[in-house]
Every structure is written in C-alpha cells, then in structure tokens.
C-alpha cells in the first residue's frame, strides 16, 4: 500500500476481487463500505451493480477527498466510525443492508503524509490520529506512565523489548517527531543498519492501534454489522495482522455456533444461542499475482460469512435502555 517516500501513491485496494466475490452483490443492493479510504471497494461495489453504497470513514480528509473526487449519486458518505454504522443507518432512514465490507487499518494517504505522523519513513509530528481529534501520539508518549507505554508496545505491537523501549522513551521526553521516536526505538532495541525488520515498525503500529482504539473499534464494528445486516446479508472483513484476524476469526466462530469463548469482560455463555452467521468461509489470502503487484497484500486476510435471521447477540445501547 505504501512505498517509502512516495507522497502521491494512490491507495491500491487489497483483495478487492475476493471481497466482491464474498459480498455477492445483486443488482440494486444496498452495501456499506465501512472503511472508505480512497474508495477502492466502493468503486468495485458500484461497478458490480450496487444501487446504494454508504461509505464510512473516521478520517475527515478521506471524506473531503471523496466529496470532490467521487460524485456518484448512489454514494452516501458518513464521517463516522464504523462501530456506529447500525445507528447511522437507522438515523439516515436506510435501515438494514445487503452487504458490508471492512478493510481494517490505515490507508496510503495516511501513511504517506508525514504530517499525519503514522510513518517513520519521513519526519513529521507524532500525531497518528485517524479522526484528527483526541489525544496525539506525542501527548500520549509525553504524559503516560512508563509502564503504560510498555503495556501498549507489548499488547498491540507484540514487542519483546517493550520495557526497554518504554524506558528509553520516558528518558528522552518530550518526544515530538516521528524520526526522533524511530531513532529512540532503534537504539533501545539494538537495531543495526541493514537488519531486515526495523523495530520501529512494531512500536509505531502499537501506538497507532492504542490511540485509535482500533481493536475495540473492530470488535464493536463486527457487532454493529451483525445488527445492520438483513437476513442473508454478507459480511467481508480484511485484516492485516494477527491481533485483528484473531478477533474476526473468534467472532465468526462464536456467532456461527462454534465454541462460545468468554472474555475478561464477558464470561463464556454456556446455553445454546441461535447462530447469527452461517457459511463462514475459509480465510483467503492474496494470490501470487496480487503479491507481486502489491507487496502490502502479503499479510492481508479476508474472512466472510452470511447473516442468518437470528436476533443479534448484543442489542444496541439504545435498545438496552428502559
Ligand atoms: C485500509 S484503508 C481502506 C482502503 C479502501 N478499502 C480503499 O480501497 O481505498 C482504511 C480506512 O479506514 C478508515 N478507518 C479505520 N478505522 C476506522 C473506523 N473504526 N471507522 C471508520 N473508518 C475507519 C481509515 O481512516 C482509512 O481511511
């Protein structure tokens, strides 16, 4: 998706044909593109005959670009988090939809602009906020306890040297620039030039996931999709690393009648619940051809399933209120 230093590289959609196949759109269907980005999936949905596409993105830049570059009357844009999709669809009088796609992560436009602070390939302010609101990466790194930074690096970056890196960040505060952070991480992790994997990758990923609450968004987005789909509706989700893929895999397993798994917050439910999803497809990875054309597709994984007519497991907050 991104090539270092390339400022204008367009976002190349990943697994788009496979996503379309999983969505199996019929002429006139209503579809949600939960992660609009540069609109690669939306374009494909419209070309496949969708009658209406609702494109969500939490990044105001993505929505602003779409408004000027994408004048299609069948497209409705929403500058919102996809975890809110069921509520927004009701508020806009759209109701239940036939298909939903989620393409998790950051876009080339976000990564390739140093001023967004997502990448250490160019130097920029430590920002990393998809929605351009809330706490910046610099604010987090300069105010959080060292132990909290270490936890974030371990939990969201699977960084084995999390404590050493957190200690080095705390000692160097204030940290304001992406290049500064990358240099601190490389020193703390013992990085040598020429070494294959740059340790800064894991730290940047971890901070980004934490600041944007990406795993919570994914969990809530899957539940929102369950509420937003018609019976027979299709859900396709593309992820780029194992933390995300695990969430999607577990969700489909639980919802399709597999072993119910509890979480820290919610104990395992032992009674039999009616499956809300069926026909869970085997995970799909990029073909050799796509890999050759777009190296970023290497870690991409698509999971998909079809909604049944069963009641959603978690009613929306509004429904829960007395
Ligand atoms: C990988 S890109 C999607 C690319 C898109 N499929 C395309 O072909 O152009 C992910 C996009 O989703 C947005 N995004 C990430 N998490 C989101 C969330 N929770 N709610 C809404 N948009 C989100 C990001 O801002 C980014 O623009």
DSSP-derived letter for residue 219 is H
Predicted local confidence at residue 11, as pLDDT: 84
Q: What is the DSSP secondary-structure string of 100-166?
A: EEEE-S--HHHHH-GGG---SSS--BS---TTS-S--HHHHHHHS-HHHHHHHHHHHH--TTHHHHH
Q: Is 87 helix (H, G, I), strand (E, B) or coil?
A: helix
- With bands split at pLDDT 50, 70 and 90, how would you rate the model's confidence at 317? low
Question: To the nearest 5 percent, what fractions of the chain are helix, strand and coil?
Answer: 45, 15, 45
Ligand 1 centroid distance, CA of 219 (Å): 15
Interval 62-114: pLDDT, tens: 999 999 988 899 999 999 999 999 999 999 999 999 999 999 999 999 999 99
Mutate to test the pocket of ligand 1, among 31, 58, 244 (most ligand atoms within 8 A of CB): 58
Predicted local confidence at residue 260, as pLDDT: 54
Predicted local confidence at residue 10, as pLDDT: 74
Predicted local confidence at residue 318, as pLDDT: 53
Is residue 322 over pLDDT 70? no
Record the pTM.
Answer: 0.92
Q: Which two tokens stand for residue 277?
A: 């999803």
Interval 129-168: pLDDT, tens: 999 999 999 999 999 999 999 999 999 999 999 999 999 9
Pairwise CA distance, residues 180 & 200, whole Å: 11
| Residue, of 192 and 127, whose pLDDT is higher | 127
Ligand 1 centroid distance, CA of 85 (Å): 13
Contact assessment for residue 240 and residue 300, using Cβ atoms and an 8 Å cutoff:
yes
Predicted local confidence at residue 69, as pLDDT: 87
Ligand 1 centroid distance, CA of 35 (Å): 3
Name all residues whose Cβ lies below 6 A of ligand 1: 11, 13, 35, 37-41, 56-59, 62, 81-83, 103, 105-107, 130, 217
Predicted local confidence at residue 59, as pLDDT: 98
Mutate to test the pocket of ligand 1, among 130, 224, 244 (most ligand atoms within 8 A of CB): 130
Ligand 1 centroid distance, CA of 39 (Å): 9
Ligand 1 centroid distance, CA of 21 (Å): 20
Is residue 248 over pLDDT 80? yes
Is residue 269 over pLDDT 90? no
Predicted local confidence at residue 196, as pLDDT: 81
Contact assessment for residue 124 and residue 177, using Cβ atoms and an 8 Å cutoff:
yes
Among protein residues, the one with the nearest Cα to ligand 1's atom 9 is 38
Is residue 36 over pLDDT 50? yes
- 101 CA: nearest ligand 1 atom: 6
- CA distances from residue 225 to 62, 228, 246, 261 in whole angstroms, order as listed: 21, 5, 17, 20
Region 20-24: mean pLDDT is 98
Ligand 1 centroid distance, CA of 194 (Å): 32
Is residue 307 over pLDDT 80? yes
Residues pairing with 235 in the sheet: 100, 305
| Helix and strand counts by DSSP (H, E) for the chain | 14, 7
Region 262-269: mean pLDDT is 58
């Amino acid at each position: 998706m991104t090539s270092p230093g390339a400022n204008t590289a367009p976002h190349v959609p990943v697994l788009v044909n496979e996503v379309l196949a999983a969505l199996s759109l019929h002429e006139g269907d209503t579809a949600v593109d939960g992660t609009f980005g540069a609109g690669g999936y939306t374009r494909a949905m419209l070309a496949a005959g969708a009658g209406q596409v609702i494109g969500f993105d939490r990044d105001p830049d993505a929505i602003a670009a779409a408004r000027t570059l994408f004048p299609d009357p069948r497209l409705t844009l929403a500058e919102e988090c996809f975890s809110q999709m069921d509520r927004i669809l009701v508020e806009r009088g759209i109701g239940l939809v036939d298909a939903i796609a989620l393409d998790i992560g950051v876009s080339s436009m976000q990564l390739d602009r140093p001023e967004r602070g997502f990448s250490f390939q160019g130097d920029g302010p430590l920002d990393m906020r998809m929605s351009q609101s809330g706490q910046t990466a610099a604010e987090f790194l300069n105010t959080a306890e060292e132990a909290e930074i270490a936890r974030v690096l371990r939990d969201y970056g699977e960084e084995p040297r999390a404590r050493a890196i957190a200690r080095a960040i705390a000692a160097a505060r204030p940290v304001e620039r992406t290049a500064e952070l990358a240099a601190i991480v490389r020193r703390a992790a013992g990085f040598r030039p020429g070494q294959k994997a740059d340790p800064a990758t894991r730290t940047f990923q971890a901070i980004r996931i934490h600041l944007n609450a990406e795993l919570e968004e994914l969990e809530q987005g899957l539940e929102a999709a369950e509420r937003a789909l018609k019976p027979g509706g299709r859900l396709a989700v593309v992820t780029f690393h194992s933390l995300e893929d695990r969430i999607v895999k577990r969700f489909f397993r639980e919802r399709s009648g597999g072993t119910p798994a509890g979480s820290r917050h919610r104990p395992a439910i032992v009674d039999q619940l009616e499956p809300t999803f069926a026909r869970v497809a085997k995970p799909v990875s990029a073909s050799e051809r796509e890999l050759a054309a777009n190296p970023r597709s290497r870690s991409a994984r698509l999971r998909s399933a079809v909604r049944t007519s069963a009641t959603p497991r978690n009613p929306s907050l509004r429904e829960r209120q007395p």
